[in-house]
């Protein structure tokens, strides 16, 4: 099965809606151990993408990822802006075809680029605690030939588990790292918004 960038406008609207619905709760998470501006920065990027959605929809995926990445780079502040821009630009570089397995391979390479850019990995209480296991599950499920609905349900479960795992992690990156053991017991805001993005995208793809 292949998925066209024509799906991008409803995807970005769904992500915007879910981030907005959870904005207050995520900001509270961020204020507990971070700078408190994660949701504001993310919403600014999502608005910029929404404004470009109709221009992105007719493109092929490599061109779409590049435009998304450049838009995010220009619009989003903070560490998350740089990391998400890296993710999408790396997707542009590694996209080969529009199949699920092709996307899975490109996404794994893109997540690796984010790891290198952020000098971080799983277990350090960041968005990577969602994106890394999601990338791995996506590759495994694509190779196993799972149906799209099965794959998406599994990715949502993996993302939710990744978020919850950050609660008992000691933060070693960003402002939260200065809190030491006081960062324990808190969910990472970046991981939470990553999970919300996965859930929103899955919901749209399942009804497309």
Q: What is the mean pLDDT of the chain?
A: 91
Which tokens belong to 199? 């859930």
Q: Is the pLDDT of residue 111 over 60?
A: yes
User: What radius of gyration, in Å, describes the C-alpha atoms of the chain?
Assistant: 16
User: What is the model's pTM?
Assistant: 0.93
Is a pLDDT exceeding 60 seen at residue 129?
yes
State the CATH number of the domain containing residue 27: 1.25.40.340
From residue 51, give the alpha-carbon distance in Å to each of 46, 47, 157.
9, 6, 31
Gap between the Cα atoms of 193 and 26, Å rounded: 8
User: How much of the chain exceeds pLDDT 90, in percent?
Assistant: 74
**CA proximity to 71, closest of 41, 45, 42, 39:** 45
**What number of residues does the chain have?**
208
Name the band, by pLDDT with cuts 50, 70 and 90, for residue 97: confident
d(CA 4, CA 208): 11
Asked if pLDDT for residue 174 goes beyond 90, the answer is no
Domain count, the chain: 1
Tokens of 117: 């850019």
pLDDT exceeds cutoff 60 at 178 = no
Mean pLDDT, rounded, for 143-164: 96
Could you write out the three-class secondary structure of the chain?
A: CECCHHHHHHHHHHHHHHHHHCHHHHHHHHHHHCCCCHHHHHHHHHHHHHHHHHHHCCCCHHHHHHHHHHHHHHHCCHHHHHHHHHHHHHHHHHCCCCEHHHHHHHHHHHHHHHHHHHCCCCCCCCCHHHHHHHHHHHHHHHHHCCCHHHHHHHHHHHHHHHHHHHHHCCCCCCHHHHHHHHHCCCCCHHHHHHHHHHHHHHHHHHHC
Nearest to 114 by CA among 137, 134, 99, 97: 134
Task: Give the domain range for residue 163.
Answer: 5-207
């Amino acid at each position: 099965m292949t998925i066209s960038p024509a799906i991008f406008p409803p995807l970005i609207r769904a992500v915007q809606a879910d981030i907005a619905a959870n904005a207050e709760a995520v900001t509270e998470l961020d204020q507990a151990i971070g700078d408190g501006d994660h949701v504001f920065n993310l919403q600014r990027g999502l608005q910029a993408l929404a404004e470009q959605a109709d221009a992105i929809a007719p493109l092929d995926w490599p061109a779409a990822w590049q435009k998304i990445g450049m838009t995010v780079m220009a619009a989003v502040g903070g560490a998350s802006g740089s990391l998400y821009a890296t993710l999408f630009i790396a997707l542009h570089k590694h996209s080969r075809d529009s199949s699920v397995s092709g996307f899975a391979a490109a996404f794994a390479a893109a997540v690796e680029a984010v790891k290198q850019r952020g000098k971080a990995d799983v277990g350090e209480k960041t968005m990577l605690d969602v994106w890394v296991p999601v990338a791995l599950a996506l590759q495994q499920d694509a190779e196993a030939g799972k149906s799209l609905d099965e794959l998406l349900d599994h990715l949502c479960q993996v993302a939710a588990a990744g978020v919850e795992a950050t609660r008992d992690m000691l933060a070693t990156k960003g402002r939260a790292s200065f809190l030491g053991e006081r960062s324990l017991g808190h969910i990472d805001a970046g991981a939470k918004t990553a999970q919300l993005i996965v859930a929103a995208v899955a919901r749209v793809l399942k009804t497309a």
